[in-house]
Structure 1
């Protein structure tokens, strides 16, 4: 038992943090989304869609975000063509929860844990908005590659970012660094 103490502590910290954050997030979703009658996404999902529009507008695309009237999502319409949609799973919050849970499970000092969680969360969020913007353009230009782009390339970007942040955390800041 003593031999596996650090693994058990890691698992307890990870799962307690994860379930606490997921519970808070799910409560937020239940209070902010509407799924019956008039559909409405949570404000964080709408914000991600709106920021995606700002990124694409910066690059001179004619784009708009419109609340979908038949599901809980926001349509991204580029150059007048409905190209992509932003759903709850696209807003990066679930990934940020996973990221923070890992950082806390492999905690360092309180200050380092807090600031790295904050920095990493902001980086993940930003990379995600840029990823959605890029995906929207790529699907608009190459609709025949939608499955490849959405199913493989773009998850690799966001998961790769999170993995790199975890590696840096464990090797530079956590109490488990060498």
Structure 2
């Protein structure tokens, strides 16, 4: 047992991270089980990111519209009356934020700095995800031959890459001189 003592901080991190991620995921699952109005369907966060995607595309000059998908917990995005894609719960980046939060909290020392960093991280992840949805809409409409690469490889790499860079920054926080 004595030989494992140097690894206790690693074990503690893994246990705290795992327990936090499971608890946060269960809480989010409970949130998704609630019934929402037609306006906030399938859930308020997915509805908000869908509306914001539509608004930004409209600002960019596209005839973008969103409609709730009947019978599916998703929002359909149309450009020029043609369906581009469906925005599902997984497109709102909350599960990515939960993974980010579990890691940051498991590595936390000071609570004020942790809360501030979580806030900054959530905002950045949300904005990167919003840019991802807008970019995907553009790829789907202008470069449809790259849909699969963009959706399955490039944009997940960007959003998870952002999270990894935030984690690295959190671990190696610059010290004030």
Q: Same fold (TM over 0.5)?
A: yes
Question: What is the distance in 2 between the residues matched to 1:73 and 1:108?
Answer: 39
Match status 1:144 vs 2:134: no
Q: Which residue is equivalent to 2:14? A: 11
Question: What is the distance in 1 between the residues matched to 2:56 and 2:43?
Answer: 20
Q: For the structure 1 residues 28 and 173, does the alpha-carbon distance in structure 2 shift closer, same or farther, using more than 3 Å as the test?
A: farther
Note the C-alpha offset of 1:49: 0.5
Question: What is the distance in 2 between the residues matched to 1:144 and 1:114?
Answer: 42
- Give the TM-score, by structure 2 length: 0.90
Note the C-alpha offset of 1:167: 0.8
Q: Which residue is equivalent to 2:91? A: 90
Q: Which residue is equivalent to 1:37? A: none
Which stretches in structure 2 are left out of the alignment for 5+ residues?
none
Question: What is the distance in 2 between the residues matched to 1:111 and 1:29?
Answer: 29
The 5 A counterparts of 1:10-159 are: 10-32=13-35, 40-159=41-160
Question: What is the distance in 1 between the residues matched to 2:12 and 2:174?
Answer: 18
1:32 counterpart SS class: coil
Q: Which deviates further from its counterpart, 40-49 or 162-171?
A: 40-49
Number of aligned pairs? 169
Q: Which residue is equivalent to 2:163? A: 162
Note the C-alpha offset of 1:11: 1.1
Note the C-alpha offset of 1:104: 0.6
The 8 Å contact of residues 76 and 84 in structure 1, kept in 2 or not, is answered as yes
Q: Deviations over 1:63-107 (max 9, x none)?
A: 011101132111010121101111011100000000000001111
Question: What is the distance in 2 between the residues matched to 1:99 and 1:129?
Answer: 17
Question: What is the distance in 1 between the residues matched to 2:66 and 2:169?
Answer: 35
When the two chains are superposed, the root-mean-square deviation of aligned CA atoms in Å is 1.6
Q: Name segments (4+ residues, structure 1) moved above 4 Å.
A: none
Note the C-alpha offset of 1:150: 0.6
The 8 Å contact of residues 65 and 75 in structure 1, kept in 2 or not, is answered as yes
Question: What is the distance in 2 between the residues matched to 1:129 and 1:160?
Answer: 15
